[in-house]
Amino acid sequence: MTSFSNSTPAAQRLASLTSWDADWSGLRVVVAGIGVSGFAAADTLIELGARVVVVDASVTERAEAQADTLRIVGAEDVLLEPDAVARLPKVDGEWPELVVTSPGWRPDQAMLAEAERRDIPVWGDVELAWRVRTRRGKKTADWLAITGTNGKTTTVGMTESMLRAAGLTAVAVGNVGTPILDAIREPVEYDVFAVELSSFQLHWASSLSPVASVVLNVAEDHVDWHGSYEAYLADKAKVYENTQKACIYNAEQIETERMVEEADVVEGCRAVGFTTRTPAVSMLGVVEGLLVDRAFIEERRDHAAELGSLTDLGPVAPRHMVANALAAAALVRAYGVEPAAVKAGLQAYLPGDHRIQPVADIGGVAWVNDSKATNPHAAAASLSAFEHVVWIAGGLAKGVAYDQLVADQASRLRGVVLIGRDSSELAGALARHAQNVPVYRVDPGQTGGDQSAGAAVAGSDVMASAVRLAAEHAEPGDTVLMAPAAASMDQFDSYAHRGTAFVEAVHALARDEAGSGRDRGETTEE
């Protein structure tokens, strides 16, 4: 969030906007972006009585439909064209008093940079949501805040499940897909929000004060957006600022503990660690296959409260899944949830698609979709869960390095199938650290080089080719794992589209294999 003087009338007015019932009327606001977050922000501000201009470079059919809706509900203007984002627009002939940006917009984007030069503050949709969360006549939901390089969506889902098992009215919001602003405006009186926060969202926020917060883990990611790994870590650390009751940290990553040590928290806030090993006092951890709490009980020096078992996480409990469960448990225990509800919540939780998702077993080869593994840290956790892997990987690298990932995982690789328009960084790491592993390349020219509907179709063709290549080189007992360690937008609409393309390609392969078996007079089980 841009810093600015509080001495001007405009700054004083913005400082007073700390509830839904504050005087938002006539406030001149430019909203950057008309996607899910931007639309929610614009719609909320219009409802509050602000004068809103929305700007986006997108000219898609969906963007046009969103624009039409905002014009109908009272937007001053909606500007959709690539040139519109090159400069800061005026609102009814005057400079805006505030810019609210969608989280994906980089700080050095031309329009946002101009706002900073003009000393116009920039908020994100999360900052806006925090400021309007209190509304006369409606219960205010508490926030449990979750960030980290990997595991955010899984942890926020587990947290939601545990809260609901405790009988609380709770919902997962934020980067998980449901804008916080939409939940605030629902006619439901929520007790608590499980809030997933990306580093982008945290960059544009400064007023948050969650009941409890956690940084699950950190690894090099989004360096292109933040400018450096140090800047990325600094934005992640903001989740701990002003935390009220408990800052939860990963005891196996010293960086997260240091973030807590340096955070300016509410007086009395505790530091609570989680570990996949035996926990010390004031930690949650694992003892003989049980998840245990030595933090939120009175006799924690000599005892531990059982919260569940590894079997509650399903037939396979990779180490990172255990860590996510412990982090979620720490958050809800800080909120006052009893151990029995933690266990019930874990048992009720259903992992989402595209996260180490078993797809099929074809001829003794397991096919697994982990399209959500969009960086090396996530891919490492996924690869570590399997002994022999044909790895489908590649895409937008986001400025990260792959040497450590490949060096650590080379021994389990049977082969690698590279996708992505430019996977030269990953290819180089494989050449340096996995010389004996065969690498196969899917022709990147099949994508068409843009993000149009045509590119989406071509991306599906790329995945079908990758699946065929992997099938040719996988042996019984192997796992074909699609864990790209990269973003998807060079060939797919999203990681979900990439994962769906993989699932569809594997199912098509299974049908082909079944048909071949019938042609040879073999029988197959349905």
Binding residues: 148-154
Query: What is the chain's alpha carbon radius of gyration, rounded to the nearest angstrom?
Result: 24
Asked if 493 and 450 touch (Cβ cutoff 8 Å), the reply is: no
User: Can you list the positions of beta strands (E) in 216-274?
Assistant: 246-250, 270-274
CA–CA distance, 45 with 101 (Å, rounded to integer)? 13
H or E element, residue 124: strand 122-124
DSSP class per residue in 2-59: ----S-SHHHHHHHT--STTS--TT-EEEEE--SHHHHHHHHHHHHHT-EEEEEES--
Q: Return all residues near 2 (Cβ < 8 A) that are at least 6 apart.
A: 115, 116, 119, 120, 121, 122
> For residue 56, what are the β-bridge partners?
80
| Two tokens, residue 389 | 């892997």
Which of 203, 145, 164, 187 is closest to 2 using CA atoms? 203
CA–CA distance, 2 with 101 (Å, rounded to integer)? 12
Which of 453, 504, 506, 168 is closest to 336 using CA atoms? 168
514, 518, 524, 526 alpha-carbon torsion, rounded to 10°: 70
SS in 3 state form for 306-374?
EEEEHHHHCCCCCHHHHHHHHHHHHHHHHHCCCHHHHHHHHHHCCCCCCCCEEEEEECCEEEEECCCCC
CB atoms within 10 A of CB 446: 20
Which of 294, 300, 299, 298 is closest to 330 using CA atoms? 294
Alpha helix (H) ranges present in 74-210?
Answer: 110-117, 125-132, 152-165, 180-185, 199-203
Q: Which amino acid is at 256?
A: T
Which of 189, 197, 286 is closest to 243 using CA atoms? 197
| Two tokens, residue 372 | 């959500």
CA–CA distance, 429 with 400 (Å, rounded to integer)? 12
H or E element, residue 84: none
Asked if 456 and 493 touch (Cβ cutoff 8 Å), the reply is: yes
Q: Return all residues near 192 (Cβ < 8 A) that are at least 6 apart.
A: 141, 142, 143, 144, 163, 168, 169, 170, 211, 335
CA–CA distance, 368 with 253 (Å, rounded to integer)? 28
Residues in the annotated binding site for ATP: 148-154
